Structure 1
Amino acid sequence: MNAIANRNDQATLGIVASNLLTLVVAWWQDWPLALMLWPYWCQSVIIGWFARKRILALGRFSTEGVRINDRPVDPTPQTQRSTANFFTLHYGLFHLVYFIFLLAMSAMSGEPAAAGGGTQVIEPSFDRIQRSDVLLILGLSLSFWFSHRASHREHVEADLRRVPNIGTLMFVPYLRVIPMHLTIILGMALGDDWGRLLFGALKTVADVAMHRIEHRWLQGAIAGKPQPDAIE
């Protein structure tokens, strides 16, 4: 049990460190809030990718409380595929909207330009985004990929030892979407500096909370404890 706790502590520190690294890079490069959101958007897509793989990798699972077309369903391979496909469509549409919104935010994050009558306006432009920014975003996203791939393998191994609720697994990744909602609503009003701090704090709290929840399930499975969502 101590080894499990140590791995969990190391994983938590890794989550905090990766989020702080992104925040440090954003401050170092003087990124506007829109640019800082890109590596986190990539991380959220990566989470969705591995969540779908996790659903499809389930051996046994519970469908308690899960309804399709307003009808309860049985834990069958067809239900498993339907759930994975629904999650992919719904989660994907969320992130497609975010992608379009971030493109607009990035284009509008340039310096104000003078218009007629001395009015200051922001002209849509991607000129401020440098190749180095793109490379840094890809590098941060790659680090997220490797960290979540390692967690995915551990979670799949634990899932095979228990009977998780497939509905719960489908909705857990949406915990990562909440900070984006709050940042878009509040961060823009606070400006880039406070917006970066707000998003960094919200994202780190959400990441750590989600990891703790998954680790609790994992620890119970390894210890052979009965799970609250298991089929008796």
Structure 2
Amino acid sequence: MTRFFDPDLFARTYRDPMAWLTLLVDLLPVIAVVFFGWKAVPLVALYWLENLVIGAFTILRMLGTVAANILNLAVAAFMVPFFTVHYGMFCFGHGIFLSAFAGGKVGDPAPGFDGMRALVDWALGTGPYMLWFVAAIIAVNAVFYLVDYVVGGGYRETQLPTEMFAPYGRIVTLHVAIILGAGLMLAFGQPLLGVLILIMLRVAFGMAMNMLRRRRMDGETGPLAGAMAEAG
């Protein structure tokens, strides 16, 4: 763990403009809080929507393994739909928890396309300019996908199961961070301070993922850790 957070690794990580791009996008919610009046609800909704974006790019990476080995086509034909349903249900349950935690009125959405759409509509409506912040997240993920996975040849080095399991740890981490952030808000009695602390927790998570990505690029991590960095 000491090696993971050592100064040399930090310096190597942030010599890469891609790491700064991620940091910039991770800090964008500060603008939403300061200038657009966002509170905790739109913030956690944004992070939930980010999980959906991560899932979509995970599907693209899973499909990309077919380009490296045509034999993956048969496996992908099963695993991609399985991941779509399983991860979708995982995000659905997480979204129900968040909407209830935030006191949102989503009705009584049933699992499935309509239920997920209701949660997405709820999340997009929690704060002004939400769609622009989601677009920024999509853009930075697209850049990483093209640079690391397509141009950098990441599709030749990964495996379908590795890519499929990578995003789940991110949801668990976000879940814990939200509960921790809520506890800090109650402890300090300062909602704005609590929201900013939650953003900083997310920024710290993003920095950790950037350093994990650097270690993967330098051949210092296994495939699962590298895939988690790409998914984060």
Classify the secondary structure of the residue corresponding to 1:25: helix
- Cα 1:132–1:41 shift into 2, 3 Å: closer
The CA distance in 2 between the partners of 1:161 and 1:38, in whole Å, is 31
- Cα 1:50–1:138 shift into 2, 3 Å: same
The CA distance in 2 between the partners of 1:174 and 1:23, in whole Å, is 26
2:81 equivalent to 1:85: yes
8, 17, 30: which one aligns with 1:10: 17
104, 107, 112: which one aligns with 2:103: 107
Q: Compare CA radii of gyration and give the structure with the larger one.
A: 1
For residue 160 of structure 1, report the CA deviation from its aligned partner. Answer: 5.8
- Cα 1:154–1:107 shift into 2, 3 Å: same
The CA distance in 2 between the partners of 1:228 and 1:97, in whole Å, is 30
For residue 46 of structure 1, report the CA deviation from its aligned partner. Answer: 0.8
Classify the secondary structure of the residue corresponding to 2:156: coil
Runs of 5+ unmatched residues, structure 2? 1-11, 106-121, 186-190, 224-232
2:166 equivalent to 1:172: yes
- Cα 1:88–1:209 shift into 2, 3 Å: farther
TM-score by length of 2: 0.66
Aligned residues: 187
Can you list the C-alpha shifts for 1:60-96, whole angstroms capped at 9, x where unaligned? 36xxxxxxxxxxxxx6322223222222222211211
Verify the 8 A CA contact 1:20 1:200 in the aligned structure 2. yes
The CA distance in 2 between the partners of 1:200 and 1:80, in whole Å, is 36
For residue 170 of structure 1, report the CA deviation from its aligned partner. Answer: 1.9
Verify the 8 A CA contact 2:23 2:207 in the aligned structure 1. yes
Structure 2 residue identity aligned to 1:174? Y
The CA distance in 2 between the partners of 1:40 and 1:156, in whole Å, is 23
Q: Identity of paired residues, percent?
A: 23
Could you tell me which residue of structure 1 aligns to residue 5 of structure 2?
Answer: none
The CA distance in 1 between the partners of 2:154 and 2:144, in whole Å, is 15
More helix as a share of residues: 2
Structure 2 residue identity aligned to 1:208? M
58, 68, 80: which one aligns with 1:60: 68
Could you tell me which residue of structure 1 aligns to residue 181 of structure 2?
Answer: 187
Can you list the C-alpha shifts for 1:185-225, whole angstroms capped at 9, x where unaligned? 222222233432332222222223333434544566xxxxx
For residue 173 of structure 1, report the CA deviation from its aligned partner. Answer: 2.1
Moved more, 203-212 or 45-54: 203-212
- Root mean square deviation, CA, Å: 3.3
The CA distance in 2 between the partners of 1:142 and 1:210, in whole Å, is 20
Classify the secondary structure of the residue corresponding to 1:107: coil
2:134 equivalent to 1:141: yes
Could you tell me which residue of structure 1 aligns to residue 200 of structure 2?
Answer: 201
- Runs of 4+ in structure 1 over 6 Å off: 5-8
The CA distance in 1 between the partners of 2:37 and 2:76, in whole Å, is 45
Runs of 5+ unmatched residues, structure 1? 62-74, 110-128, 221-226
- Cα 1:52–1:218 shift into 2, 3 Å: farther
For residue 43 of structure 1, report the CA deviation from its aligned partner. Answer: 1.7
Could you tell me which residue of structure 2 aligns to residue 121 of structure 1?
Answer: none
Could you tell me which residue of structure 2 aligns to residue 66 of structure 1?
Answer: none
More strand as a share of residues: 1
